[in-house]
Amino acid sequence: MASSRSISTATKAKFRVDLAIAARLALVVLVLTLTSLGARAAGGALSQLDQQCLACHSAKGLEMKLANGDQLPLQVDGAAFGKSVHNKLGCAVCHANTSFENHPPVKTKIAGSREYSLAMNKICESCHAPVFKQYEGSIHATLFRDGNSYAPVCTDCHSPHAVMAKATYDATSGAPCSKCHGSIFEAYAGSVHGKATLACSNCHGAHDVSAATKEGQLKNACLGCHQDAQASHQKWLPNAKQHFDSVSCPACHSPTAKRKVNLRLYDNVAQQAVAEKAGVPQFESRARSADAKGAGLDAMALHSLLREFNREGIDNKTTLRGRLEVSDGVDAHKLTPSAQAIRDCAKCHQQGADPFQSVTVSIVGPDGRPVRYGAKPEVLNSIISVDSLSGFYAIGGTRIKLLDWLLALAVLGGIGAPLGHMTVRWLFKRYAKKISGQEDS
């Protein structure tokens, strides 16, 4: 009985202590929050609480070793944070799990810096839900889900302690895209768009960035601003609409770019590019088995690859649609003023033209980016390709060689037959004269 009474007394005492701690903590948080809001309201400076945090976290080189050995930098530039839009929130809103009790968070071990960034992503989502949803549909998020350790999460693009208002963004900096896409940004900075200080997001979107090679994606971005482009091209370019379908904008507007032909698998019934089935990729294995020598698909191999895709179901459901593209992203960004764009049809419409020397066959990969397989340039000029490349033909450039021989034969025959006939007539006439001359004599 005595024992139970003493336990009860101890429990009550502990409860009183806990209550007192909780009340003090609540009071501290309340006071600091109120004072920080008051301080911010006064002039945008750091709140007292934030200043308290920064008392330690502004220390140069402050970092923490994580479970996997990563070093998590803990230093925060107070001046930058003071100017950032997150200053209004203060440290405690994002770092709510860091309390007086567990700070430094010794109870929950952080596995690694990547894991930490991911955990912090959830914090971003709690305020920026619509933007986060856009991000989740982006190529960046897809790459991340596929295990790409370089795929960016929120904090890779937005330095959380220095995130600035949109209005202050300097497009010429290329940040944050240039951090990963440096060579592309370099090319872009010298382009007509770069000089006009357009931001990457003007064409690619920001959080909803999709694979640049996604069908129609960038062309629509171009036409979004250049709304009269179709009409102005129609004034001088024969079959302008077809060119818009079969030629990417940079193929002409990035005149120094190396060009190539991309033969895309196309579903005629669904009227869209064929996409690789998630989890059961078939394209590469089928292409490899069609290309026994591994030297690139030739016309016969291309034909058998298509047959594989049409083995089940409707005949000719899957076809190939060709498109002239630039070889890489760097070239795609070297856009020039329209006066310098390629207007000389002969650049493409002649045998041996540069764009037809490099050919790939592609399918839309699970992440939206094309999966490519090389083909021999001869596929474009083979009579066998009349069937397999029925949807792609560039006059002159991809002409069928067999027809050239037939034409030569027809012209030679057309000229040779009358000449031969005339010669025989002349010989007969001469012979007849000789005979009659002999008879006369």
Chain residues in the site for another protein (CB under 8 A)? 236, 238-239, 241-242, 245, 268, 319, 345-346, 349-352, 385-387, 389-393, 395-396, 399-400, 403, 406-407, 409-411, 413-415, 417-418, 421-422, 424-425, 428, 432
- Secondary structure (DSSP) of 57-119: HTSTT-EEE-TTS-EEE----HHHHHHSGGGGT-HHHHTTT--TTTTTT-SS----HHHHHHH
Distances from the Cα of 25 to the Cα of 22, 47, 101, 104, 299, angstroms: 5, 17, 10, 16, 76
Q: Which two tokens stand for residue 204?
A: 């690619």
DSSP secondary structure letter of residue 163: P
Q: Are 151 and 158 in contact (CB under 8 A)?
A: no
Shortest distance (Å) from residue 416 CB to another protein:
9
Residue reference for tokens 């070793």: 65
Alpha carbon distance 116, 95 (integer Å): 12
Contact 246, 389 (CB under 8 A): no
Distances from the Cα of 156 to the Cα of 37, 86, 91, 120, angstroms:
28, 16, 19, 11
- E runs forming strands in 24-152: 63-65, 71-73
The terminus-to-terminus CA distance of the chain in angstroms comes to 166
39 vs 302 by CB, closer to another protein = 302
CB of 349 to another protein, least distance (A): 5
3-state secondary structure of 314: coil
The token duo for 377 is: 């340039």
Other Cβ atoms closer than 10 A to 140: 23
Provide the 3-class DSSP secondary structure of residue 208.
Answer: coil
- Nearest distance, CB of residue 391 and another protein, angstroms: 5
Classify 315 as helix, strand or coil.
coil
CA distance 198 to 308: 45
Q: Which of 263, 254, 239 is nearest to 349 (CA)?
A: 239
